Chain A
Amino acid sequence: MEIFLQQLINGITLGSIYGLIAIGYTMVFGIIGMVNFAHGDVFMVSAFIAMIFFLLFTTVLGVSSVIMALIAVMIIAMVLTGLLNWAIERVAYRPLRGSFRLAPLISAIGMSIVLSNFIQVAQGPRNKPLPPVLSGTITLMERNNFAATISYKQIMIWVVTAVLLAGFWYVVQKTPLGRAQRACEQDRKMAALLGVNVDRTISLTFVMGAALAAVAGTLYLTYYGVVNFSDGFTPGVKAFTAAVLGGIGSLPGAVLGGLLIGLIETFWSGYFSIDYKDVAAFSILAIVLIFMPQGLLGRPEVEKV
């Protein structure tokens, strides 16, 4: 029971991070039908931005409140990562819009290589460890020397994820921007004819996806306390798995998928073998796609003849 509870807590934490990244994949896929392979690396860059600014605030500027520093870092990371993704879309994807279907995919793979290698060149190949922040845990249950605990960091991750998802949901459901996004998803040409600024809507979609990835990046950094230039790929692929599992194009699906992937991973490691946890995640992806290609909450694709 304690182990179960502990895995549940760890799984939800990990799943929140995957879910935040997954939204970026799902939104971009929904609006321009493209698998944005560079998104995992955008997430990695955001973690680096957070790391740099956290260091700047705490060591150089001497901000003493860790909470204040983290909030400031997260906002800065959201803004700068949004800017980065905006620039990437402008340079690498927009010129390819409406052309050959595989071209943006290859361009995105190229961009992913560029981002990880750029960080390697600019910041060096070694791990970047931060001094531990927000240490401390609450013990929930204890028996036979095994305690199920929840750490302050985990609580923070849950709260931040919940708050940001609520805000994000409001933007997508209730604002003109969200309406424009949904219109573009349905029919980009018609939306343009009705006066929706399609280019701007797509740009903003990239910015929003990146901002959420930056939240995930900041949380990832505080949770693990270390980041490396190669950390984009695996969380990226897992988040993508989450998006597909939940039904690509569906925002609640992305969050649900993220949570499921996080839970599968932690429970698998807890009960079976830590070695094969990624195999489990990928196998589930394959199985879901084969038997339920539309995912859990996605709309089935009808092929009109």
Chain B
Amino acid sequence: MAAAKTTSGPGGSIAGAARDAILAGVVALGIFGPLVGLKTEQNMQNELVITTRWGLVAIIVGIVIAGRFLLTTTIWPAMTRNKMRDKPAATAGEIAFRARLARWFAPTGLVFLFIYPALMVYFLGFQGSLKWVDNFGIQILIYVMLGWGLNIVVGLAGLLDLGYVAFYAVGAYSYALLATHFGLSFWLLLPLAGTLAALWGIMLGFPVLRLRGDYLAIVTLAFGEIIRLVLINFRELTNGSAGISSIPKITFFGIYSFELSAPNNFAKVFDLPMSSAYYKIFLYYLILLLALLTAFVTLRLRKLPVGRAWEALREDEIACRSLGINTTNTKLTAFALGAMFGGFAGSFFAARQGFVSPESFTFMESAVIVAIVVLGGMGSMIGVALAAVAMIGGTELLRELDFLKAVFGEGFDPDQFRMLIFGLAMVLVMIWKPRGFVSAREPTVFLNERKSISGSFVKEGHG
């Protein structure tokens, strides 16, 4: 990457770098000049008028020039040097350290996840813990679960599914509709929603799974959009864009309720002060367990013939067929299983929000989940979890940038920049680590010694 970039400047000389930087500045001026410098706004008569912001443009162009100059003169040469130096430096000690880290990371992380709500309550009190358990804990864990579910399809079987959110929607609407119309319990509807999503997976998968490569991605994208559009337009059933509200809360396995008016309300029964924190903490543990179920099943399946066939399919489909593997069925199982976990997550999502609408199931959502899988490193459970924490946790943290108001004035809304930064992070992480955070693959079986496999041998699938 560095090599490709530096070729434009002759030999990395200062003059060349300066010329390069000026060029970058001119490009930046061309792009940002009109788009930032000329802000269009509606006046009282609803006409568009232009206000100029040349100062801001100057700052942006200045940053681009300086950044480009720094990159060519210091950062890339330093990175190239590092690369040269790093290669032989991966000593036995370092490898052992990495292996130890990998071995300890998962158990430590698990323990942390289980005591996380307790820690939050201990430090911040019930009310104060709400945000950290709900907006961070539950939100991230939903994406971890979705990422792990999609990881079966994309990471293991190598099938690029850009419409995964459809199964999430199927799960969410199954719960929302059946719970509001028939008053069925979450504990009955959870498996049902998963089954329905899996059936949809098979139904959609059957015609499309013989497609290769990007075509599969596009058809799944189309199916995702079709399901969302049907949810919007089939108003008799789904109430259209307005969505479905007052979805019942999940009960504590039917024993206690979290509805305020219920006689067996959790807080009333135990004579605790009323707080929504109990429900949130309960939800936290529920989604944690659901996510761990996903992980457990995936890890088990990887060591079974189906799991190996998925990975073999990702490596070389033709070789699979030459060995007597029914590739259509193998793909279908991956697709259906991924869909099932998406369905579980969906019904949990509906119960947690108490409200579903097609808004929550846009293509962007699918894109974010795919991004989590790829950024994490295809097939790696820990990588996917890390990516979910970084991407979802990171954007949630960006909501906390209120202090910037002090810098830029009251009119400044930091929330606007959240998705902008999210997108930039996606691009930068890909350039930095195209194979994701954890690219090495762990073998499923070994004869003498377990060695992890360098990501450079692992294929990405073409379907």
A residues adjacent to B (C-beta < 8 A): 29, 33, 35, 37, 45, 48-49, 51-53, 55-56, 59-60, 79-80, 83-84, 86-87, 91-92, 94-97, 99-107, 109-115, 117-124, 126, 128-131, 233, 237, 240-241, 244, 275-276, 278-279, 282-283, 285-286, 289-290, 293, 301, 303, 305
Contact = CB atoms under 8 A, between A and B. Distances in A.
B410 interface: no
A279 to B, nearest CB: 5
Interface residues on B, range: 35 or more
Given A106-B430, A109-B426, A110-B424, 7 more contacts: A35-B218, A100-B460, A103-B430, A110-B423, A117-B420, A276-B233, A289-B222
Contact of A276 (B212, B223, B229, B462): B229
Interface stretch (B42-50, B193-201, B269-277): B42-50
Nearest to A282: B222
Contacts of A278: 225, 229
Contacts of A48: 35
A58 to B, nearest CB: 10
A147 B441 CA distance: 66
Interface in B395-424: 416-417, 419-420, 422-424
Nearest to A227: B40
A115 B427 CA distance: 12
**Majority-rule SS of B interface residues:** helix
Nearest to B35: A122
A62 B256 CA distance: 71
Given A55-B40, A96-B430, A129 B214 contact: no
Interface in B348-407: 363-364, 367, 370-371, 374-375, 378
Given A103-B374, A109-B370, A60 B30 contact: no
Nearest to A100: B434
B427 A107 contact: yes
The 5 tightest CB contacts between A and B, nearest first, are: A110-B426, A113-B423, A114-B423, A103-B434, A117-B420
A102 B232 CA distance: 31
A171 to B, nearest CB: 22
Given A35-B217, A102-B374, A53 B30 contact: no
A253 to B, nearest CB: 15
B218 A240 contact: yes
B34 A80 contact: yes
Contacts of B34: 49, 52-53, 80
**Majority-rule SS of A interface residues:** helix
Given A100-B434, A293-B211, A113 B218 contact: no
Interface string B195-236: 000000000000110011011011101110110011011000
A282 B40 contact: no
B1 to A, nearest CB: 4
Given A52-B40, A87-B27, A286-B223, A101 B460 contact: yes
A110 B420 CA distance: 9
Contacts of B208: 286, 289-290
B260 interface: no
Contacts of A240: 218
29 contacts: A35-B218, A52-B34, A52-B50, A83-B31, A86-B27, A99-B434, A101-B460, A101-B462, A102-B374, A104-B430, A106-B375, A106-B430, A110-B425, A113-B426, A114-B423, A117-B420, A118-B35, A120-B416, A130-B48, A237-B363, A278-B225, A279-B226, A279-B230, A282-B225, A282-B226, A283-B222, A289-B215, A301-B212, A305-B318
Given A35-B217, A80-B30, A282-B226, A52 B38 contact: yes
Contacts of A293: 211-212, 215
A289 B233 contact: no
A55 B212 CA distance: 47
B423 A111 contact: yes
B36 interface: yes
A237 B426 contact: no
A121 B53 CA distance: 13
A285 B30 CA distance: 37
B462 A112 contact: no
A276 B235 CA distance: 12
B331 interface: no
